[in-house]
Structure 1
């Protein structure tokens, strides 16, 4: 999965966040589809995404939704 292309490969809820993760338009489209039109990146959230702990894109979407419910 290290060869995953964050610009063009299909992202699903099972896609692992790899060390090559990038905030691309493809990622933004996936997260808007998963979280709704109010999705936005912020520094604190991005630090969590890139913290090196194993996670999937489904978990990324769920975490964003959890943070917005506070």
Structure 2
């Protein structure tokens, strides 16, 4: 059964799969994890889709690392 990025519950442990999509559900998770300043950008999306195994918690952590003052 494929993960539905539109409606399935996303947690820190949710693996990023080859069907990953930037949905409102993903945006809600990332805003909750990273704060209201979260925005998708080309650099983070290239990292997300680079083919290496990662979880949504790792994605949030990487975004925070890249956007810390």
Shift of 1:4: 0.1
Q: In structure 2, what is the equivalent of residue 67 of structure 1?
A: 66
Residues 16-35 of structure 1: pairs in structure 2 closer than 5 A? 16-35=15-34
Shift of 1:69: 1.5
| Structure 1: gaps spanning 5 or more residues | none
Kindly tell me the number of residue pairs found equivalent between the two proteins.
69
Residues 28-67 of structure 1: pairs in structure 2 closer than 5 A? 28-67=27-66
CA-based RMSD of the aligned residues comes to 1.0
Alpha-carbon distance in structure 2 between the residues aligned to 1:14 and 1:31: 13
Q: In structure 2, what is the equivalent of residue 10 of structure 1?
A: 9
Moved over 2 A (4+): none
> For residues 36-64 of structure 1, what are the alpha-carbon distances to aligned partners after superposition, in whole Å with 9 as ceiling and x for unaligned?
00000001110000111000000000000
